[in-house]
Amino acid sequence: MTIKQTKNVILIIVKTIFNNENNKMSETIVLGGGCFWCVESVYQNVGGVEAVESGYAGGNTDNPTYEQICTGRTGHAEVVKVTFDPAKVSLTEILEVFFIASHDPTTLNRQGNDVGTQYRSIILWNSEQQLETAKTVIDKLNTDNVFNGKIVTELKELTDYYKAEQYHQNYFKRNPMQPYCLFSIPPKLSKLKKYFPEKALA
């Protein structure tokens, strides 16, 4: 092997290690807690969260549209895909925000006036570690009687995920005067600030 070939091999190894380390820095989990505009807004204000994307998951319809989701017959829930840096915010903290600040996990197939399976509380895990962490957080919240009722959040392995239409992305940021959002989102952000002051960005 020539010196040039050796250098190229070393460069490839270094790049591989660097890319692997970068990949380890971020983790993704898919969460559903009612209208995705609301849940998206909460996580966009959590320190350590790198990206939030609204989508559909948990059902059996390929490439669903928002109109199909609204019928409640696709099996899918409105969800957000949360990408975060575990060095800055742990999965446990992400899930605590999910349960305490983003929605009511004790109501089955509804959030407020939004009724239907598309609004169900659901965690779509992509690793056994995520599943076990979710179970641990749920058990603790139930044991501590944090809510008036028991948590009914569905735990399901993530199989298919579909990004929602572009007009749903960053919805509250682009539509700050939308009446539904003005009614629903500020109380959730207030909970975020109250219960997670060290993580709330605004």
> Which residues form the catalytic set?
35
User: Is the Cβ–Cβ distance between 38 and 188 less than 8 Å?
Assistant: yes
Give the CA count within 13 Å in the CB-facing half-sphere of 84.
25
What CA–CA distances, in Å, run from 14 to 22, 25, 147?
12, 17, 50
Residue with tokens 């010196």: 3
- CA nearest neighbour of 47 among 94, 96, 12: 94
Residue with tokens 């509250």: 172
Q: Which amino acid is at 14?
A: V
- CA nearest neighbour of 31 among 84, 70, 74: 84
Going by the DSSP 8-state scheme, the letter that residue 101 receives in this structure is I
- CA nearest neighbour of 201 among 109, 101, 64: 101
- CA nearest neighbour of 101 among 34, 171, 149, 22: 34
User: Is the Cβ–Cβ distance between 124 and 160 less than 8 Å?
Assistant: no
